[in-house]
Structure 1
Amino acid sequence: MQTGSAATKISIVIATYHAAGTLEQCLRSIDSQTYANRELIVMDGGSTDGTVGLLEAWSDRIDYWESEADRGIYHAWNKALKHASGEWICFLGADDYFWSETALESLVSALVAPDRNSRLIYGRVAVVNDLGQVLYRVGEAWDSARQRFHQVMSMPHLGVLHHRSLFEDYGPFDESFRIAGDYEFLLRELRQAPAQFVAGPEAIVGMRVGGISSQPALALQQLREVRRAQRSLGFRWPGPYWIMAVARIYLRMALWPLLGEARTRRLLDFGRRLRGLPPFWTRTL
């Protein structure tokens, strides 16, 4: 395995579709990074909301971009891999952004650590609402995250650096997955190998909440895909974390029509407080 250094090139991939309202913040967060040896690749799925004009305006700071219909986020990422020349690669959505100007530097510092033993380097992700308020942070040391990762997605993909040899060894993302293709790819490596956690910074990436978190049907689809990935890679039985995650989704689906949205949100946050977690549902209206 090669040793990282200040000369290590990082490829940053953004997949976007009809997200002109948030894409510029993402681009600015990349442009402001103190780590200079990087390239930016943007794959737009054929947006008609002003995204193309924004990409044209930023074209002198984007190494490669295109705007054409694709088959989903994993197809977009796979196309981007053909243009990525960095030794390490990270993936962002247009709603995401680097948390600070030194976020990449924090990750790269782990590449030169004498005890580095992984091809996946990750840090914390701050989950924020539309007002930019931090709802909670995701990310913990691999020794703590390993057991849960083998059952649910406990390692935030947005804060991950992937060594390019992973794609040479395993191939691209599996496009038969619609939501959990990133989990399936990471599990190919992490069913046996370790990941390396960067503990220092407050967060590496800010992730706007929405999508799967507020749509039970999509959340169930994600968990079903997670199980499909696990079975295909030798995990025969679901674990308790996966079962509890499914149970919580069905509870939400039952309570929402019974109690109404506002009461259900308050009740769900009461349950979070009982588990020692910060409120979430009442802060994402």
Structure 2
Amino acid sequence: MSKPFISIIVAVYNGSKTLQRCIDSVSGQTYLNKELIIIDGGSTDDTVGILKKNNDKITYWKSEPDNGIYNAWNKALKHITGNWIYFLGSDDYLWKNDVLSQIVPYLIKAESEETKLVYGQVARVTETNDVCCVDGEPWEHTWNGIVLDGICTFTHQGMFHHRSLFETYGIFDESYKIIGDYELLLRAFKNGGNALFVNGLIVAGMQTGGVTSNCTKLVQEIGKARKSHHLKVITIPWLISYAWSICHTPLTYIVGDKKTRYLLNSGKLFVTHISHWKDSTLKK
């Protein structure tokens, strides 16, 4: 089997502070069978200047007003040539220069087994590169969290999607502004299906404070997506997540963003443990 070709998609808007780091993390990869596609939403800072400066590192880029991250991703999907697709935030970065080389054997294995999703772990980092936590759980727990519990037990920065997933289930639903990737996973996996988890491989560093930092909106959109797929909305983990989203803003004001982030990650671990405990109880 030939080496996989990986299409890396980046959506950006006014990302001049971090975009160069993102681009460098892709261009510096030891694995060469890849392409970088960047869609800018009509930035008013120096983002376009950075794109022009890095033209030799970017396969395709476009700058024009859009309707959010999922609109940008859908635009990018029209230009991919790879059989595996990876989405990276403009303020995020590939963790090490050999990440793609490390993931490739698993992509080959997955393709031979007709598995449409391969994922590793993601380090959540602050603006000063302090690691808050590392996200990424085996598929059984990830699937339970997504489908049964209604919580985001995944980070898309760790996920490699086979292009057949989009051919089968369609593109992102642009009516969602925060959890369009979650809704796509519901479409693809709500009735079961397998994904390949690469334990111990950190794929990317994810800088905290992005679009998903709007916790209340995130939890509300999850509820909307689950309702549209005729799944139970009000679960114990979902309620805990909603309660936390309400407390997020006052906590940030009282203790600061960094400490709130650590509390947030501790809360996520707590909710995840509840989900794990519930799963093990049901199996007894």
Matched residue of 1:20: which SS? Answer: coil
- The alignment's C-alpha RMSD in Å is 2.5
1:112 maps to a residue whose letter is I
Q: Helix, strand or coil: the match of 1:127?
A: strand
Q: 2:184 maps to which residue? A: 185
Cα offsets for 1:199-232 (capped at 9, x unmatched):
142x100000013565xxx211111111111122
The match for 1:11 is 7
The answer to whether residue 91 in structure 2 is matched with residue 92 in structure 1 is: no
1:238 CA displacement: 2.6
Cα deviations by residue, 1:240-260 (Å, 9 ceiling, x for unpaired):
21111011222345666xxx5
Moved over 3 A (4+): 114-117, 211-214, 251-256, 263-277
Alignment-derived partner of residue 239 in structure 1 = 235
For 1:221 and 1:16, the matched residues in 2 are separated by 20
- Percent identical pairs in the alignment equals 39
Alpha carbons 2:248, 2:260 under 8 Å: kept = no
Q: TM-score, normalised by structure 2?
A: 0.85
Give the structure with the larger helix fraction: 2
Mapped pair 1:152 → 2:145: no
d(CA) in 1 for partners of 2:267, 2:88: 33
5+ residue gaps, structure 1: 278-285
Which residue number corresponds to residue 199 of structure 1? Answer: 199
Q: What are the within-5 Å matches in structure 2 for residues 99-118 of structure 1?
A: 99-113=95-109, 116=113, 118=115
Q: 1:272 to 1:104 in 2, by over 3 A?
A: closer
Q: How does 1:29-48 map to 2 (within 5 A)?
A: 29-48=25-44
Cα pair distance change 1:221/1:60, threshold 3 Å: same
Q: Does the CA-based 8 Å contact 1:116-1:196 persist in structure 2?
A: no
- 1:102 Cα deviation from its structure 2 partner: 1.3
Which residue of structure 1 aligns with residue 215 of structure 2? 219
Moved more, 10-19 or 189-198: 189-198
Alpha-carbon distance between aligned partners in 1 of 2:269 and 2:159, rounded to the nearest angstrom: 26
Change (3 A) 1:265 1:42: closer
Aligned partners of 1:110 and 1:116 also within 8 Å: no
Equivalenced residues, count: 266
Taking the aligned partners of 2:31 and 2:44, their CA distance within structure 1 comes to 32
Structure 1 residues 101 and 63, CA, compared in 2 at 3 Å: closer, same or farther?
same
With normalisation by structure 1, the TM-score equals: 0.85
